[in-house]
Structure 1
């Protein structure tokens, strides 16, 4: 059986976050040799090299990335255990402490705030820590998988399924619409404006079938920049409903019909944290927001 103590896990996490043994030692109040010894001991126990050592510091190997994700999640579970035990000992079942949330931009603007308002009113001891993460590559779900977030609001679907080892559920289905400058006589002749996070949201079949849609000539940083460009008359865009909440009157939103593309927005967490009071409470508030 692999037996790594919490102290050894903290050393691994510190080396990963600080990018080197010296910086990790300073963070932990240890000597560099003690940090090196701890990492070597962990590598022997796990049977894998966890960090590539070099003149510029230490970077996680593929095995190291996996180990760091597990280490962060184990350490977080110890913190959650302590918080929930303290709440149980007080007899009111309350819980206090941070709740780490990863969310993509439009959900952070239009879905999360109302849920957090109710959550903190009912559980004032919970302190939300929100990070806005681009929904590309590992995206928000990757923050949970890597142990950097307790729960993520993520896009879920065939092109971005819940990662193995995590659990999740759908909160809402949002459709897409054509967005263009208000009053334009032929909006479908305009250049297409897009952004990286939007590309994986459509079904490939739908996109390929739209002969009127050209390849994007402009790729913006986020959906806010896309909306600004469309508003200024620069082009048209195909955007999801969350991104269009509060759209300015200078743009017009045209329904794409029954065959319009949709995407699922949901939550992702670990099986262990899914049972915790803070995560369960946030999921309930997110569902109420969209109910």
Structure 2
């Protein structure tokens, strides 16, 4: 049975993984390089696995190191939350959640959902300090940030995390349909070239996409959905887009319904079972559930589940 890792050892592992080297981690933590190297070797001995590949360019986490660093971040986050949770449970002077709560979201969810949620949280719990990051919806997406311990809660596309992410708790908030974006007045928008962007793919559209004989392969692929809309508005192509990305269309852009079999995606929150019990994350979830649906979205009321990622459309 492995010896227990100490919190300081967990902090060192995370610092090495995040900074990419023993020297940089030592500078961050105010330690010597030899102390960091010794601690990492001790962790590897306790766990029975090599956690970092050492080289001239620094220290790169192995597969085991990536997983351990993710668990270490989550454990350290729970340790940081313990004092506030204990004071609240003991009926102390604290009136509500306080301190940081880390939220990640992809762009359209951040724009359409978070402003109202953050306004409610500021009014209810002024000592709560949301820290928001926008993360591209690629690969493991925002859910991966929670799994890796870099966020407490994510707004995520629940059907498209890019792989199985065990141990997470997910619940849908709304369903978002897709529509066709094209130049206003164009006589044959479905005959235009297809413009796409890197994040516009997922298991939720894959089957529908395969059935559409009129959809050609993408001739233009860009990294930002606002660029897609600009190109479509100028008649350089058409695009199949989620509705929340079409809330503020540029001049000259038209939006056309894709018909009764149009694809849709579920958007919801993802957290860990442990963090879901903390006061800060509970209040964020409460505010998310109470928030009005974004324009163009419909309710999604399925119960919370363990998150299961699915393959993405290439």
TM-score normalised to structure 1 length: 0.95
Tell me which residue corresponds to 1:222.
Answer: 224
Contact 2:139/2:162, CA 8 A, preserved across alignment? no
1:143 and 2:145 correspond: yes
Aligned partners of 1:217, 1:4: CA distance in 2, in Å?
A: 52
Tell me which residue corresponds to 1:109.
Answer: 111
1:14-33 superposed matches below 5 A: 14-33=15-34
Tell me which residue corresponds to 1:63.
Answer: 64
Aligned partners of 1:241, 1:282: CA distance in 2, in Å?
A: 24
Aligned partners of 1:262, 1:114: CA distance in 2, in Å?
A: 23
Q: CA deviation at 1:148?
A: 0.4
1:1-291 superposed matches below 5 A: 1-2=1-2, 3-88=4-89, 89-157=91-159, 160=162, 163-200=165-202, 202-291=204-293
The alignment partner of 1:203 has SS state of helix
Contact 2:195/2:239, CA 8 A, preserved across alignment? yes
Q: Deviations over 1:106-128 (max 9, x none)?
A: 11111111111111211111111
Q: Deviations over 1:63-111 (max 9, x none)?
A: 0000000000000001111222344553454121111111101111111
Say what the alpha-carbon RMSD is for the aligned residues.
1.6
The alignment partner of 1:199 has SS state of coil
Contact 1:174/1:242, CA 8 A, preserved across alignment? yes
Number of residue pairs matched by the alignment:
291
Q: CA deviation at 1:26?
A: 1.3
Contact 2:141/2:161, CA 8 A, preserved across alignment? no
Contact 1:171/1:290, CA 8 A, preserved across alignment? no
Q: CA deviation at 1:17?
A: 1.1
Aligned partners of 1:252, 1:186: CA distance in 2, in Å?
A: 12
Contact 1:14/1:24, CA 8 A, preserved across alignment? yes
Q: CA deviation at 1:249?
A: 4.2
Q: Deviations over 1:133-184 (max 9, x none)?
A: 1111111011001100001100012775772111110010000011111111
Change (3 A) 1:170 1:162: farther
The alignment partner of 2:265 has SS state of strand
The alignment partner of 2:103 has SS state of strand
The alignment partner of 2:217 has SS state of coil
Contact 1:118/1:285, CA 8 A, preserved across alignment? yes
Q: Which structure 1 segments of 5+ residues have no match?
A: none
TM-score normalised to structure 2 length: 0.88
Structure with more of its chain in helix, by fraction: 1
Q: Which structure 2 segments of 5+ residues have no match?
A: 294-314
